[in-house]
């Protein structure tokens, strides 16, 4: 199993590797944090709002960097 082969890597990397591979180590299964749907809704709405604000401020102030960053946050 590929995830068990990463067990020898340093401990501080293990949470990232569990997230990256979506396969936690067997002893980490009891530490799984479940997120409620409202979490995903709020994060998505926050990202969209910040992108709109950045693009709007960039447009109003003539800053191409802020304008482009606003579109980058929204993933356009």
Q: What is the DSSP letter of 28?
A: G
Instruction: Please state, in angstroms and rounded to a whole number, the distance separating the CA atoms of residues 67 and 43.
Output: 21
Asked if 39 and 25 sit in the same domain, the reply is: no
Tell me the pLDDT tens digit for each residue of 7-31. Answer: 888 989 988 988 888 888 888 888 7
For the chain, give the percent of residues with pLDDT over 90.
Answer: 17
Asked if 42 and 73 sit in the same domain, the reply is: yes
**In terms of residue numbers, what domain contains 17?**
1-29
Instruction: Please state, in angstroms and rounded to a whole number, the distance separating the CA atoms of residues 23 and 27.
Output: 11
Under the banding of pLDDT at 50, 70 and 90, the label for residue 39 is very high
Asked if 45 and 23 sit in the same domain, the reply is: no
Kindly state the tokens that stand for 65: 């960097």
Asked if 14 and 41 sit in the same domain, the reply is: no
Under the banding of pLDDT at 50, 70 and 90, the label for residue 2 is confident
DSSP three-state, residue 66? helix
Residues whose CB falls within 8 Å of the CB of residue 71, separated by 6 or more in sequence, listed in order: 51, 55
For the chain, give the percent of residues with pLDDT over 70.
Answer: 96
């Amino acid at each position: 199993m590929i995830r068990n082969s990463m067990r020898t890597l340093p401990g501080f990397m293990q949470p990232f590797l569990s997230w990256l591979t979506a396969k936690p180590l067997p002893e980490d299964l009891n530490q799984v944090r479940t997120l409620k749907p409202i979490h995903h809704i709020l994060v998505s709405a926050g990202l969209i709002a910040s992108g709109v604000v950045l693009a709007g401020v960039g447009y109003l102030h003539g800053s191409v960097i802020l304008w482009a960053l606003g579109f980058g946050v929204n993933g356009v």
